[in-house]
Structure 1
Amino acid sequence: MKILVVDDEPNVRRTLRIALEAAGHEVREATSGAEALSSVGHRPCDAALVDLRLGGESGLNLIGPLREQAPRMILVVITAHASIDSAVEAMRRGADDYLPKPFTPAEVRAVLDRVARQRGLRDRVEALEDQVRREVPETSLDARDPAMARLLELARRVAPTDAAVLIRGESGTGKGVLARALHGWSGRAGGPFVTVSCPSLGAELLESELFGHAKGAFTGAVRDTVGKVAAAEGGTLFLDEVGDLPVALQPKLLRFLQEKRYERVGEASERQADVRLIAATNRDLEAMVADGTFRDDLLYRLNILEIGMPPLRERADSLELADHLLAFFAQQSGRRLIGFTSEARAAIGRHSWPGNLRELRNAVERAAILAAGPEIGLADLPERVARGPLEAGHGGEVEVGGPMTLEALEVEHIRRVLAASGSLDEAARTLGVDPSTLFRKRRKYGL
């Protein structure tokens, strides 16, 4: 590596140069903050070793400017034993590690190797995240639907706080996407975003997954495990489908929410965590409180701030979302897909999408694979989407009490009211809904 040594003591610089060059590194020296910044500005380097006392200067004040000039540079501070607190402060400001004086050549090499390994792991994580973003389309949060626009405005106001957030909504509405967006809009964006799927494990294993366990805590616990709470330190912990959290684990989660303290399974010592909690559920938690399967005090702590994700059938932007997904799948497959035919767009607009955004994604991905030409046609869509609500019943004349779906009955009723009304406002009053609801239903059913 190309390494810059910043220290005002010649003996320290000489010792570090000998140790680093013996390990095959290229070494440059600086005696002051200004000299260090000038050196990095003219010739980038891979790492810098910075003394916290540079004559009359404080090395602490150099951390930020160095990090701004070279964000990916490994930065290790050098400190005397009496200045460990200052070293910790330097790491809070952006340093990667510290090297206490006096040190040996082996210790210098060890700290650089350790930080380089950590940086390598971080780079691999970033590369994997980029790969996931390329392969899995994020749900667009640039919503044109008025209800979604209001929801996102609320979410942006909520994001900078550290208060717990409860996201409610049906499966597939994008609760996880919104949770990740809240993290990205917060002051914790630079920290980890860690997800725990509450329905995935039983009470004991889920407790270990969440809080970690000590070696020997149970059969199969062959080593200490830190748990998701510790992994989310400084960032956000997302509890997906918190309504499925086992009753036995709810008091421990409540204590963590109230005190930010917890214990690993099989360990008596108490730990503290700096973690923001976001939870999501598709269940009626109030009904669960009434039947004793969810604690009311936990519900109060979880929904300090509550956001409700609307189902896709109540949104007016299903076509825009379909266009967004089609563009993604076209790019992924390398195909030239220019859009949907008018028949396909009408079918997408009138389908009720019981599987919400997840169902829409699957339908568009399927259509992008099957399409013979540059446009997605009705035949490329799943049959349940293409056939429409009237065909979804048994067909024939629409009649109250007849063999048909409620959706088919609603479509015909709205159509007749629109035909008999002089304006959309009049039709909305007749139907007993507000004009924006009528607008969404017209878009949904292609009326």
Structure 2
Amino acid sequence: MNRLRIIPLDDTVVFPGMPVTLPVDVGGDDRVLLVPRRDNTYSKVGIVADVSERVRLAGRGVAVSLTGLHRVVLGGASADQDGVLRVDYEARPDQIPPATLTRELEREYRAVVDEILELRGDDGRIRAFVRSITDTGALADTAGYSPDFTFAQKLQLLETFDVVERLKLALQFQQDRLAELQVRKRIHDGVEDGAQKQQREYFLRRQMEAIRKELGESDGSIAEEYRGKLADAGMPDAVSEERLDPVHARTVLDADHEGLEDVKRRITEYLAVRKLRTDRGMTDTRRSGAILTLIGPPGTGKTSIGESIARATGRQFVRMSLGGVRDEAEIRGHRRTYIGALPGRLVRALRDAGTMNPVIMLDEVDKIGADWRGDPSAALLEVLDPAQNHAFRDHYLDVELDLSQVL
């Protein structure tokens, strides 16, 4: 067997014909063994590399330029009298297969690589390099140049001695990569088309508003536009029937919770007042909405109390967790000009509830933050103030919503 100095390559695989520069001192050796290594485990296959140039680095360091020659199988290792680790090896150069076995594989491999390079925006130099390779083994080894393949994939290519099998393996890797790039391109194109469509719709709406203003648009047409926006957002247009029965409510609260007498009494009083006003013919106005505040440590039953209120009154229940929210748009919604714009959480809560008078639990209100995107707590003021929430405006819908019936 032949014997050469070993140079370990951590998480790196070098193939025959591949030039590489390493900051190592190879002494006076003209050839070395390059062996991939990961987690102190060496590969059984390495590359004989020719030392083409020695470079002196700043700080008395040295580096060498190497060019891979051919594959080898490693044998025993031992240190020489200078303490340099040298390894026995058996040369395994490529055996050229018949052209009838590789002609179709080479054509398909080049076609797949061409598609990948086109998706990546190649300027033609890499494509010309691949087309210039006539050796089948060297063509398969070009997959080792790709930064997209993992260490394990490149090592698998290096350890495949049969040229035909290696080309099949390289083709499979490239086909998988092409499929991934095509999916990414479709997603990117879809997002881009969606953004362009939103921008186009925004400008068209602005033009329509200008035209309507010049023509003296009627209120009926404006109302029709509002109805269209609400329909597109899937907003409900009805309220569910409310049950105002303090006795039934207390029964539900007692069945769901032990203790909490002050909380149960306050909720029952609220429902009793609502029932008394209804019995006396006192109709609720847009400014007669109510906000119930539940304060207590985690695990004391605040959320479950909200669920019991919804069950006792026959309303739908929706929970909104506001802990860690820092963007005002989470409350008011994004303007339609932004990519990926969505309605605010309140609009989505109403849509999920399917009614305009659900019980909405604003959980973790005390953990709202604020940053350069705005202050969500300031936006909540319009939501929680009965004098304002009958005309809440979501930026995405750009229409006024009546939240006065929400509990």
Q: TM-score range by the shorter chain?
A: under 0.3
What TM-score do you get using the length of structure 2 for normalisation?
Answer: 0.28
- Please identify the structure whose Cα radius of gyration is greater: 2
Comparing both structures, which one devotes a greater share of its residues to strand? 2
